[in-house]
Amino acid sequence: MSEALIPLESVNAVEVFTGGTLDDLLQRIRTEAVSLVPNVNTVAGRKEIASVAYKVSRSKTAIDDAGKALVSDLKKQTGDIDAARKKARDTLDALRDEVRQPLTDWEAEQERIERERVQAEKRAKAEAEALRIADLERREAELRAKEEAIRAAEEAERQRAAAEKAEKDRIEREAQLQRDAEARAKREAQEAIERAEKAAADAQAAAQREAAAAEQRAKDAAERAQRDKEEAVRQAEQKAQREAEQRERDRLAEEARQREDEERRAANKAHCRRINIAAVEALVTGGVSEEVAKAVVTLIAQGKVPAVSISY
């Protein structure tokens, strides 16, 4: 396949730059270039766009080189030729950019999609870190509640031991009293025992209440942490579901666009084939053999017959 949109050998510098055929030549190049149906959704389509844009540049180079050669031979015409060269460069540069624009837009869209993917990953990491911190706080609350319960139980045990020691000391002192004070001593001992028992009972009840309160606080903290965790998981699942549904819609839309492109290309090929058949039949009717007619139509369709084209 030629690297330019026109045969390089067909560029006649004198006719193009001094004979007024430059506009016709540029129009031929444009007609060939814009006949491409751009498709950035496939690798082959993107390569085809880049290839046509490259051929436009090669056509520009061919015309420009021919002009340079003519300038070297015809110094007196350098002004007109340079102006024509600039017009060809500017026109074909603009055409190249126009042909490549779908690929340029597609590349920009891919960059946008990548940026959004990176942002989504960052948000997911932040959400996971929030869940981890919530779980850590729950565990710390449970540990604090257990420590408070242990301290309360230790305090109750200490108070009970102190009461027992006090009672033992009192009994030892009372044993040394005289027998005539035995009745009074017994009564005082009984009262002391009752007071100690009541104090121990009160201390134990207070310890039990504090332990129950600490356990309830730990349970409440754990329930709050679990609710926060479940809510975060639910939101993450809903978000993942929405994203999956959006990807499915995008996939279906992409398939529909591809089917439309294929149908459009098939219809265009069928249209061109009907016109080519009609042209062959017209040539045969005019007295040309069918084999020659087919060869002529093929050459015209390929752009190999100068100044002759088929209107599709």
Q: Tens of pLDDT along 223-258? A: 887 888 888 778 878 887 888 888 888 888 888 889
- The residue that leads in pLDDT, 192 or 306, is 306
Neighbours of 152 (CB within 10 A): 19
Give residue 4's pLDDT: 62
Q: What is the pLDDT of residue 1?
A: 42
Q: Examine the pLDDT at 212 and tell me if it is beyond 50.
A: yes
* CA–CA distance, 312 with 305 (Å, rounded to integer): 16
- At residue 2, does pLDDT exceed 60? no
Residue 216 burial class via C-beta count within 10 angstroms: exposed 0-12, middle 13-18, buried 19 and up: exposed
- pLDDT, one tens digit per residue, over 115-169 is 888 888 888 888 888 888 888 888 887 888 788 878 877 887 888 888 788 777 7
Average pLDDT over residues 50-74: 82
Out of 88-92, 177-181, 260-264, which region has the weakest mean confidence (pLDDT)? 177-181
Helix (H) or strand (E) run with residue 217 in it: helix 182-285
pLDDT at position 9: 62
Q: Which of 2-6, 59-63, 133-137, 291-295 has the highest mean pLDDT?
A: 291-295
Does pLDDT of 274 surpass 70? Answer: yes
Q: Is the pLDDT of residue 61 over 60?
A: yes
pLDDT band for position 70 (cuts 50, 70, 90): confident
In angstroms, the CA 201 to CA 207 distance is: 10
- SS3 letters for 158-179? HHHHHHHHHHHHHHHHHHCCCH
Give the orientation angle of helix 78-175 with respect to helix 22-34, to 10 degrees.
Answer: 30
Instruction: Please tell me the number of Cα atoms within 13 Å of 239 on its side-chain side.
Output: 11
For the record, the structure tokens of 77 come out as 């015409």
pLDDT for the residue numbered 232: 78
Query: Are the C-beta atoms of 16 and 62 separated by less than 8 Å?
Result: no
Q: Say yes or no to pLDDT of 24 above 60.
A: yes
What average pLDDT does the segment 35-50 reach?
86
HSE (CB half, 13 Å, CA atoms) of 273? 6
Cα angle: 174, vertex 177, 183; to 5 degrees: 75
Of 210, 107, 100, the residue nearest 155 (C-alpha): 210
Residue 160's alpha-carbon distances to 43, 204, 277, in angstroms, are 85, 8, 114
CA–CA separation, 99 vs 38, rounded Å?
Answer: 8
Instruction: With beta carbons less than 8 A apart as the criterion, state whether 25 and 16 touch.
Output: yes
What is the pLDDT at residue 64? 85
90: which DSSP letter? Answer: H
Q: Are 217 and 145 in contact (CB under 8 A)?
A: yes
Residue with tokens 């093929």: 298
- Which amino acid appears at position 256 of this protein? A
Paired tokens of 186: 């017994």
CA 32 to chain centre: 37
Mean per-residue pLDDT of the chain: 82
Distance between first and last Cα of the chain: 22
The DSSP secondary-structure symbol of 10 reads G
Residue 16 is predicted with a pLDDT of: 78
Boundaries of every domain in the chain = 8-301
In the predicted model, what is the mean pLDDT of residues 90-102?
A: 86
